[in-house]
Amino acid sequence: MSGLRCPDVLPLAAPLLDGSGRRFEYLRLSLTDVCNFRCSYCLPNGYKKPCNKPSELSVEEIRRAVSGFAGLGLWKVRLTGGEPTLRCDFEEVARAVSSVPGIRRVAMTTNGYRLAERAQAWRDSGISALNISVDSLDPARFAQITGHDRLAEVLRGIEAAQAADFESIKLNAVLMRGVNDDELAAMVDFVATRDLSLRFIEVMRTNDNAAFFGARHVAGQTVIDRLEAEGWQRMPRQPGAGPAVELGHPTARGRIGIIAPYSKDFCASCNRLRLSSDGKLHLCLFGDGGMDIRPHLQGGETAALTARIRALVGTKAPAHRLHEGNSGATPHLASIGG
Ligand code: SAM
Ligand code: SF4
């Protein structure tokens, strides 16, 4: 038997590991750094186009990139930004990504723009998991945080998404001291009664929001403590789970996740890589900048692309340096894809 090989079975690539032994299965793909909102922790003054801005990756470049990552064992892709749905070819991109062999799950993160009208079209283009940012359920507060009086429109979008039968719908809420930390119970109630899941995200310090971070950061552990006191229980970690802590409750179908990058050992379970909208590989949200892989996306051998990715991933730092007040080269999360 030793010399026989089935010709239909492709040899599996060795798993993509970094120098700390972490395995990467998840790509966060930024489609644009442009955004129409002005979230106070991200782009409080709105999007400003930089001089000499490189063009966004084309659909073909994206297809090549995702094929390269899939060849290295990544199977989940999240479309993000900026606001990914601002791209006029968003659905074409989603179809291209979801049809790459090896990609089993395509997710997206959105501020809810056009969700009410496009939910079904996005589902039909292959997206199965949706994260929608909703930092407040109070219309005036939502407008104050995002710069847009659009809560009602976003809530209509959530209903449309539920009707479109996404496999997973999660709301993302950035926790902010003195802004929305009194809404914890209302948000938990909102999702628990609608079979949705919710992620509380600690506000993260970036180079543009240091003062805001200092004034508004709340440790995710305070939320975990409150939820546990109300009968929520930590869920066992699934294989391939990222750094979120997940809690469930016997009476709720949805889960509550807490993303707490300032907690101990947060980076130990990092399983994700990021590709910016202009083709730079970011090994960490708070690293020293991206490494250009775009030349490999414009033709040539896939093997050269995968060898380059593998070599770069091997250099990933064991942990971020946020605790030292060092946000790397990241001005705001819209620049890389949060
Ligand atoms: N525009 C889309 C949206 O807002 O959902 C996708 C991009 S946004 C950068 C992705 C996620 O990052 C959102 O849930 C947003 O609330 C979160 N985010 C942005 N800046 C952040 C920060 N400084 N700290 C924590 N979360 C942040
Ligand atoms: Fe735009 Fe999302 Fe940043 Fe808000 S968090 S400004 S919606 S990119």
Q: Which ligand is nearest to the CA of 220?
A: 1
Number of Cα atoms under 13 Å in the Cβ half of residue 230? 16
CATH code, domain carrying 136? 3.20.20.70
User: Above 90 in pLDDT, residue 6?
Assistant: no
Query: Which range among 32-41, 137-146, 280-289 shows the weakest confidence by mean pLDDT?
Result: 280-289
Distance of CA 175 to the CA centre of its chain: 16
Do the Cβ atoms of 21 and 314 come closer than 8 Å?
A: no
User: Above 70 in pLDDT, residue 2?
Assistant: no
Q: Which of 15, 12, 35, 13 is nearest to 23 (CA)?
A: 15
User: Above 80 in pLDDT, residue 287?
Assistant: yes
Range of the domain at 129: 26-335
Residue 279 CA to ligand 2 centre (angstroms): 20
Residue 171 CA to ligand 1 centre (angstroms): 11
20 lies in some domain: no
Q: Give the separation between CA 13 and CA 11, rounded to whole angstroms.
A: 6
The winner for highest mean pLDDT among 12-21, 214-223, 329-338 is 214-223
pLDDT at residue 240 in the model? 65
308 lies in some domain: yes
H or E element at residue 187: helix 184-192
pLDDT at residue 12 in the model? 65
User: Above 50 in pLDDT, residue 196?
Assistant: yes
Quote the number of domains for the chain. 1
Structure token pair of residue 26? 């998840």
**What is the torsional sign of CA 142, 189, 78, 245?**
positive
Q: Give the separation between CA 327 and CA 133, rounded to whole angstroms.
A: 22
| Length of the chain (residues) | 338
219 lies in some domain: yes
Instruction: Tell me the pLDDT tens digit for each residue of 65-110.
Output: 999 999 999 999 999 999 999 999 999 999 999 999 999 999 999 9
Confidence of residue 239 (pLDDT cuts 50, 70, 90): low
7 lies in some domain: no
12 lies in some domain: no
pLDDT at residue 337 in the model? 87
User: Above 90 in pLDDT, residue 147?
Assistant: yes
191 lies in some domain: yes
User: Above 90 in pLDDT, residue 190?
Assistant: yes
9 lies in some domain: no
- The whole-number average pLDDT for the span 28-50 is 97
33 lies in some domain: yes
Instruction: Tell me the pLDDT tens digit for each residue of 298-308.
Output: 988 999 999 99
Could you tell which of 36, 42, 110, 274 is best to mutate to test the pocket of ligand 2, judged by most ligand atoms within 8 Å of the CB? 42
Q: What is the pTM of this model?
A: 0.94
31: number of Cβ within 10 Å: 27
Distances (CA, A) of 162 to 26, 117, 172: 24, 13, 16
